[in-house]
Structure 1
Amino acid sequence: MNGSTHSAENPLRVAVLISGGGTTLRNLIEKIAADQLWIKITMVVSSTAKAKGLQYATDADIPSTVVDWSTYDSTESFSTAVFDACRAAQADLIVMGGFLKHVLIPDDFENRVINIHPSLVPSFCGAGFYGAKVHQAALDYGVKVSGCTVHLVDNHYDHGPVVAQQSIPVLPDDDAAALAARVFEVECELYPHVLQAFAAGRVTIDGRKITMR
């Protein structure tokens, strides 16, 4: 991905992976429609046919497919099916949007898979930390700031190099739902900002050190 430059006329081809409601997918579709993102979503891959986010793909005339994790006997076979679908869609970059299943990153997609996590990694992340559990853990610990992290994906949960982070204050009367809502507001700005930087060729990757200009 280093140095790849795209434009509105030559957008970055993206596959979006989902497992649930698809709110991140909806946000990206809206940003593209507003001419704020030089990306084209060429495929939506869901880990379950029950994901409500598939409707957003249908409504936006985006091809979608279901790779049902429950029908695979190993992480390896599930991962192969997911990335085969992304290759078929000629995706330059894979964007996880509420994708809750573990995948193993093949060599040809190294540094080409990104995720957003609703905390300031490495706090409150890893296996089992998703959704309201993340925000409740932050509140239980008593932190004064939380936020979100965009990171590259490797073969471990929430472990890949950090691309960007955005913090928000934790308010005295926050519960998990209130904190989640405010973190999601900044997710909706940070994720497209990072994707636009990738599309514009403004991201340089050097091991775990990532520079976004």
Structure 2
Amino acid sequence: MTKIAILASHNGSGFDTIYENAKELNISIELLISNNSDSLALQKAKERGIECYLINSKTEPDPDQKIYDLINDKNCSMIYLSGYMKKISSDLTSNFKVINSHPSLLPKYGGKGMYGRFVHEAVIKNKDKISGCTLHYVNDVYDDGEIILQNKINLDDQESVESLEKKIKQLEAKTIIEGLKKCLN
């Protein structure tokens, strides 16, 4: 069984997907860490009986070291970023498999500041006909790591930011499961 840690800043929809499919994936979620005291993911982790921590510059003098120590102490081999909005340290990327899901077909619409709704707004503004999501390994550059899996959808002529966001969220859940199966085998 693969032990993983989840890092989430807000809702943690990727966390939900992994939690709901943990048995099938042969994954044990050992802990969830958030940098945001208002994180819905923290609340979900508490309700699910998963060890969870709030770690940021207000709670720790060296948040990156604290995160590293907690993950290492739990013997996790993988970290999944579920909408984690802070750049993670190179200690994490060099010592663990770190995986992120991005709501575009990288390298399009990747990089600092390109997340969630901002990505979908750019896709609609540019009148793209295809969008999708990417599961990738994380390195020291935003959205630059090796791609594990991409899934695509066609956009309707009347596509809105809201409708695209909903479609990508559904596609993302499927992509997370398929991609994790691929990199766990």
TM tier, smaller: over 0.9
Q: Aligned residue for 1:198?
A: 183
In the alignment, residue 3 of structure 2 is paired with which amino acid? R
Is the Cα–Cα contact under 8 Å of residues 97 and 116 in structure 1 kept in the other structure? yes
* Pairwise CA distance, 1:136: 0.4
* Pairwise CA distance, 1:198: 2.7
* Pairwise CA distance, 1:127: 0.4
Summarize the Cα distance change of 1:180–1:188 in structure 2 as closer, same or farther, 3 Å threshold. Answer: same
Match of 1:143 among 128, 131, 134: 128
d(CA) in 2 for partners of 1:109 and 1:130? 24
1:3-14 counterparts in 2 under 5 A?
11-14=1-4
* Pairwise CA distance, 1:37: 1.4
Note the alpha carbon deviations across 1:123-146, whole angstroms, 9 max, x for none: 011001011000000111111100
d(CA) in 1 for partners of 2:7 and 2:92? 18
Decide which structure has greater helix share.
Answer: 2
Moved over 3 A (4+): 69-73, 107-111
1:28-107 counterparts in 2 under 5 A?
28-32=18-22, 35-69=23-57, 77-106=62-91
Quote the RMSD (CA, aligned, Å).
Answer: 1.7
1:174 is the counterpart of 2:159: yes
d(CA) in 2 for partners of 1:175 and 1:70? 38
1:24 is the counterpart of 2:14: yes
* Pairwise CA distance, 1:111: 6.0
Unaligned runs of 5+ in 2: none
State the SS of the aligned residue for 1:36: helix
Identical aligned residues as a percent: 26
Is the Cα–Cα contact under 8 Å of residues 38 and 196 in structure 1 kept in the other structure? no
Unaligned runs of 5+ in 1: 1-10, 201-213
Task: Provide TM-score, normalisation by structure 1.
Answer: 0.81
State the SS of the aligned residue for 2:139: coil
d(CA) in 1 for partners of 2:149 and 2:95? 18
d(CA) in 2 for partners of 1:97 and 1:182? 18
d(CA) in 1 for partners of 2:104 and 2:16? 21
d(CA) in 1 for partners of 2:82 and 2:36? 14
